Homo-oligomer: A and B are copies of this chain.
Amino acid sequence: MRLKNDWINGFVDGEGCFYVGINNNDLMALKVQVLPEFAVVKHKRDVKVLYDLKDFFKCGLVKKNRDNRMCYVVRKLKDLFNIIIPFFEKCPLMTTKKSNFLRFRWIVKSMMIKKYHLKAEGLEKIISVKNKMNRGTIL
């Protein structure tokens, strides 16, 4: 079933997550990898709605999460930049999750797309902003 923009908005205000992982990775010049992701987790009984999200955005994948949970996740930088971020710019979130989205957007659009995460100064800025995410603070 084709989802509606406002339904997705409300659902993501409830269940969605904008997350930026900072992982050690010896293959990277700075030995650190920045991994932004947009994810929606639901019990496996509601996996259909996760596939509906995948169909809607035409990117990302549905995979197992822990326990009985499934996850719709978008990790490709170009998909986050071209599809996910423009959607939530056009249809702003209503809860404080919006502040996470704005930080997430800054990391992707203002830093990673310009490859600033590959430079020490840029990486430091990203880590500083990432540390303010998903803590319930409002901007």
Contact = CB atoms under 8 A, between A and B. Distances in A.
Contacts of A138: 45
A108 to B, nearest CB: 23
Interface string A1-34: 1011111111111110000000000000000000
Nearest to A42: B95
A139 to B, nearest CB: 12
Copies in the complex: 2
Contacts of A8: 10
A113 interface: no
Given A10-B11, A14-B13, A43-B136, A3 B52 contact: no
Interface string A46-82: 1001001000000000000000000000000000000
A94 interface: yes
B1 A6 contact: no
Contacts of A45: 96, 136, 138
Report, nearest first, the 7 A-B pairs whose CB atoms are least far apart.
Answer: A14-B14, A10-B10, A6-B6, A10-B11, A7-B10, A14-B15, A6-B7
